[in-house]
Structure 1
Amino acid sequence: MDRISLLRGVLLLVFASGLGGCADAPGQDSGGALLPEQAAYDVAHYDLQVSVDPARERIDGRVTVHAVVEERIENVVLNLDRRLSVSEAWTQGRPSTPHAVERRNDKNEVWVDLDEARSPGDTVRVSVRYEGSPRVAPRPPWDGGLTWERTPSGDPWIATSGQTEGADLWWPVKDHPSDEPDSMDIAFTVPDSLVAASNGTLQSVERASDSTTTYRWHVSTPINAYNVTLNVAPYVRLDTSYASTSGMEVPVSAYVLPSDSSRAADALPGFLDQVRFLEETLGPYPARADKYGIAQTPFLGMEHQSLIAYGHDFTPGGLGYDAPFDALHFHELAHEWYGNLVTVGNWKDFWLHEGPATYLEALYVEHLEGDSAYHALTDYFRSRVTGGTPITRTAPTTAEGIYHQDVYFRGALTLHTLRYVVGEDALREILRRFVTPDSARTVPVFRPVTTRDFQNLVETVSGRSLEAFFEVYLYQGALPVLDTSRSDGTLQLRWTKTGDAAFSVPVPVRVDGETHRVSMEGGAGRLTVPGDADVTLDPKGWILRGR
């Protein structure tokens, strides 16, 4: 997800208070502890069909869930926002035999009674028909739902968002990041003056006699529920292709408003340059079997898989700092690797999405403009860190429970400091291997990940234990503080506010223009300095620390 500094304080107040956008329409949360009844089955495929009525701001849909039973179950439990009603449900493709449906947990859960209990290894197919007026997103994409806007020409402009509140704001789904279907089919029916864009590959466009058109899409890879997207507008489609480092020719489609098509066409080569950089840094573009796409949206952006939501103006910047490139597009694109290819199985590890995506912005600036630009951007990141809030948890956490600006900036600077500790080459190897563990594989490995997985890789590549490093930077609220004193020709340094962790991050010290790396074994170090020497601690800002 993108981050705009100007709005951050307002958004944090919203999340802290638990308020939604309307007094009678609060948002809901996503993730957390998984219900045993939901842990008992694994989704293999979703088939989602939705008709969109822009005039009434309503949807009418059906989802069919194909799942494999892992523990004995008598119900299939899905999530669906209580604003949407369920009209009927059935199993095994038999709509003539409806099954009992119960709404629980303030009607945000849909319990479908099976005709008989199912045992491990069984397959089950459950269909749910639903309808209603979905939640209108108060502040998309951070506070989500459906956005019903108008284009400059007055046409409907519709988009979905729901990373923190969940995909169940607009379709029945097992709303938890731990379970991704292996594939998905999506069909959107809209008035025939409009175009519906979504994830995956466009299979067909079917025009009906009732002045509607149905767009059918197929997603050939695993996809997280919050990444499933609906985009509707009088789009024009800009098509080209991209030669991936994998050797594949990747289809490219940009769905943009007619009034912006010329600017979008001018921007597209720069977007593909960003794809090339990320491929060379992290490995081949993950959704290459489907497409690289963007959909122009009435909000700033979101990392919807193979169809990035893009609401900037096709110019450099977009994330609150003076960037020499379209930083908004780059950040969302980086999530195709960190967020979509590897997805946290629980939101407690959410920093693994936002920290690397933010840090990669700095690597791209370094690629474009060199070392000084890299450090200027990491200095900006440092100015945005609040401290005091852990960015990783040990227990299951909801999306809103972990969302905070520090998952972006503290997460990015943790990687920046790690680069100093283990070296640039090692960090680049870590960033690549975490998302592309086997460069010889021709098919990307979409999978859930944890902070422990990342730490294990870091320790394998670096050949050292970094337990204290991760404990202090990720799990501890306060940042470490460096205490110093200087007397009798000796500079003494000591780490404080590190809890019980044996924190020993080395410290760069510049003495009369020469930089030394001071070892901090046991949390303390010393350096001999002449009495009249000019001494500067960490002159380039490598170490994330409190003041």
Structure 2
Amino acid sequence: MRGITMFYMALLTAGTVSAQQHFTKADTLRGSITKERAWWDVTSYDLHVQVHLEDSTFSGFNTITYKVLKPDSVMQIDLQEPMVIDSILQDKQSLTFTRDGNAWFVKIKAPQVKDKIKRITVFYNGKPHKAKNAPWDGGVVWARDEQQRPWVATAVQGFGASAWWPNKDHQSDEPENMTINVTVPAEMTDVSNGRLKKKTDNPDGTATYTWYVSNPINNYDVAVNVGHYAEIKDSYSGEGGKLDLSYWVLDYNVDKATEHFKVVKPMLKCFEYWFGKYPFYKDSYKLVESPFLGMEHQSAVAYGNKFKMGYMGRDLSGTGWGLKWDFLVIHESGHEWFGNNITSKDIADMWIHESFTNYSETLFTQCQYGLKAGEEYVAGIRHNIKNDVPIIGPYGVNTEGSGDMYYKGANMINNIRLIMNNDEAFRQMLRGMNKTFYHQTVTTQDIERYMSNAAGFDLGRVFDQYLRDTVIPTLEYRIIGQQVQYRWIDCVKDFNMPVRVKLNENGFKLIYPATTWRTASISLPDPNKFEVDKGFYIHVKRREATDNK
């Protein structure tokens, strides 16, 4: 997720998605499971990288352990220009390779026998793409801290992990575990994902930090953070037992961070209540101060909100509730469940990451300040919705859909919560989803089926309306005596989303509109007091009783 409020990027790029439907061979090589990718499955990465401050370059190697799914002799490895591969070895033999843009095709010599585990080591170097405006423009950030000391970090969601290290750069294939070895000047510290296993002081004035990730991890989450860091240690007693907490901040921000990050424990309590056990107890939970706004790097969440409330001091909901907590801490941490635990196979389905995580802000607001506050927050963020292009993007070409996956997606989830009309059932759906798809990659269809089953209602038309269309449906109604007639207009074919309305003085109840007129009785003393639950993200239009169209 570029990880944070994509509304601001959407303001800059509104209308460009539909204009960018001309895709290239490079888009297909990056975004699809090519023949040269399909025959092997990554099981582990052992990444070694040295950060060279003097010329802003990286060098190193990556040993890829993989399982052979079917015999083949050509393997696709991804590494983006201007980075280059120096050499590739398997079984101590040098392999030949060719390049097609950012894709490298390796000629394998040894027989690749089905179900066998094999290794290949890729040596590489170069000057990785410099991020101009991370996290929206991805790459490596070369910055200076307030004391003018070097500060380096990676931020590559969307742009691709292959911007700085060679891998199989597709979200559908995650390693089961990973070792990250980062060599930096001895006076600096690297913070990466997982747990620090050792620090090695080298004779050339450098130090190597070895981090181990014991859980599956998507490539864009793999992070390098190099700076003058100090560690603040804490722990949380949660559903999985003791969870180690670490806050890695610049050495002059320790006091400020110690106070500011007190929100983490109530946040974890809230999210474990709604989503289930934090997915990465083995790898711990970390916040890492970064020279860019933030990103959901698994077990090493990048944090650059400058210890402010809201989103850099702004309330994205316009309600006041968004200034009562730090947006980056809450939003990016929510991705540990949606994005990191459950990952979309294709970035066209990034709504799975962003819609649920955006809704986690509403749930946290509710946890801290009550149901009404949460309702106001999710309604407030609607003013950010563009309804420009569909939320689901084109498949197989490394392209996301609309930035509406954030605010519109969250409101779609809130609609489903209201349809279910049972918060405990809704909570169990979210928890069950994180259990059913624990550490897995999924498709939109997987999530649609699961939610429909949990809701006890076929939500297919709801998903079609909000994910695949740009029109907001309108509930049209007319009052005739003690009856209300109602139907959906401006909607996808056969749209049938239930809504809650007030037909009597006992509160809201569900009705089941279709695209043809239906009728319900009103027992309110004044039928004109008929009301539609404003929690639904829909339009409502009243027609005159005499209008028989």
TM-score, with normalisation over the residues of structure 2? Answer: 0.90
Partner of 1:327: 327
C-alpha distance after superposition, 1:136-178 (max 9, x if no partner): 1122112200000000000111111111111000000100000
C-alpha deviation, 1:255, in angstroms: 1.1
Partner of 1:23: none
Partner of 2:51: 52
What does residue range 79-98 of structure 1 map to in structure 2 within 5 Å? 79-92=78-91, 94=92, 97-98=93-94
Contact 2:355 2:406 (8 Å CA) reproduced: yes
Partner of 1:192: 186
Contact 1:29 1:166 (8 Å CA) reproduced: no
C-alpha deviation, 1:390, in angstroms: 2.1
Partner of 1:471: 464
Alignment gaps of 5+ in structure 1:
19-26, 438-443
Alignment gaps of 5+ in structure 2:
21-25, 542-549
Pick which of 525-534 and 357-366 moved more. Answer: 525-534
Rounded Cα–Cα distance in structure 2 between residues aligned with 1:511 and 1:296: 53
Rounded Cα–Cα distance in structure 2 between residues aligned with 1:492 and 1:314: 52
C-alpha distance after superposition, 1:268-321 (max 9, x if no partner): 221122112111221111111011001101111111000000001223212634
Question: Does residue 101 of the first structure (1) align with residue 97 of the second (2)?
Answer: yes
Partner of 1:21: none
Rounded Cα–Cα distance in structure 2 between residues aligned with 1:83 and 1:183: 28
What does residue range 494-509 of structure 1 map to in structure 2 within 5 Å? 494-509=487-502
Contact 1:29 1:165 (8 Å CA) reproduced: no
Question: Does residue 228 of the first structure (1) align with residue 222 of the second (2)?
Answer: yes
Pick which of 6-15 and 72-81 moved more. Answer: 6-15
Contact 1:63 1:129 (8 Å CA) reproduced: yes
Rounded Cα–Cα distance in structure 1 between residues aligned with 2:204 and 2:531: 71
Contact 2:392 2:401 (8 Å CA) reproduced: no
Rounded Cα–Cα distance in structure 2 between residues aligned with 1:198 and 1:422: 40
Rounded Cα–Cα distance in structure 1 between residues aligned with 2:520 and 2:17: 46
Q: Secondary structure at the match of 1:357?
A: helix
2:420 to 397, 419, 422: 422
Contact 1:252 1:291 (8 Å CA) reproduced: yes
Rounded Cα–Cα distance in structure 2 between residues aligned with 1:133 and 1:504: 52
Partner of 2:133: 139
C-alpha distance after superposition, 1:429-464 (max 9, x if no partner): 111100023xxxxxx931112222222222322323
Amino acid at match of 1:435: N
Q: Secondary structure at the match of 1:115?
A: coil
Q: Secondary structure at the match of 2:472?
A: coil
C-alpha distance after superposition, 1:75-132 (max 9, x if no partner): 221110020111111113x2xx32112111x2x0111211134132232211111111
Rounded Cα–Cα distance in structure 2 between residues aligned with 1:208 and 1:30: 39
Shift in alpha-carbon separation, 1:337–1:546, aligned structure 2, 3 A: farther
Rounded Cα–Cα distance in structure 2 between residues aligned with 1:156 and 1:194: 9
Contact 2:389 2:401 (8 Å CA) reproduced: no
Partner of 2:544: none
Partner of 2:545: none
Rounded Cα–Cα distance in structure 2 between residues aligned with 1:333 and 1:29: 31
Partner of 1:440: none
What does residue range 25-174 of structure 1 map to in structure 2 within 5 Å? 32-92=31-91, 94=92, 97-104=93-100, 106=101, 108-174=102-168
Contact 1:72 1:120 (8 Å CA) reproduced: yes
Rounded Cα–Cα distance in structure 2 between residues aligned with 1:471 and 1:340: 25
Report how many aligned residue pairs link the two structures.
526
Rounded Cα–Cα distance in structure 1 between residues aligned with 2:18 and 2:222: 27
Partner of 1:263: 256
C-alpha distance after superposition, 1:185-230 (max 9, x if no partner): 1100011121100001101111112111110111111100010000
Amino acid at match of 1:32: G
C-alpha distance after superposition, 1:40-63 (max 9, x if no partner): 100011010000011211111111
Amino acid at match of 1:469: V
Contact 1:301 1:308 (8 Å CA) reproduced: yes
Amino acid at match of 1:228: V
Shift in alpha-carbon separation, 1:244–1:33, aligned structure 2, 3 A: same
Pick which of 520-529 and 361-370 moved more. Answer: 520-529
Question: Does residue 216 of the first structure (1) align with residue 210 of the second (2)?
Answer: yes
C-alpha distance after superposition, 1:353-411 (max 9, x if no partner): 10111111111111111122112111122222222532235x62444x22422111111
Rounded Cα–Cα distance in structure 2 between residues aligned with 1:29 and 1:75: 17
1:413 to 408, 411, 414: 411
Rounded Cα–Cα distance in structure 1 between residues aligned with 2:118 and 2:376: 54
What does residue range 243-282 of structure 1 map to in structure 2 within 5 Å? 243-247=237-241, 249-282=242-275
Q: Secondary structure at the match of 2:247?
A: strand
Rounded Cα–Cα distance in structure 1 between residues aligned with 2:355 and 2:29: 20
Contact 2:482 2:527 (8 Å CA) reproduced: no
TM-score, with normalisation over the residues of structure 1? Answer: 0.90
Shift in alpha-carbon separation, 1:516–1:251, aligned structure 2, 3 A: closer
Q: Secondary structure at the match of 1:312?
A: coil
What does residue range 459-538 of structure 1 map to in structure 2 within 5 Å? 459-509=452-502, 515-521=508-514, 524-528=517-521, 533-535=527-529, 537-538=531-532
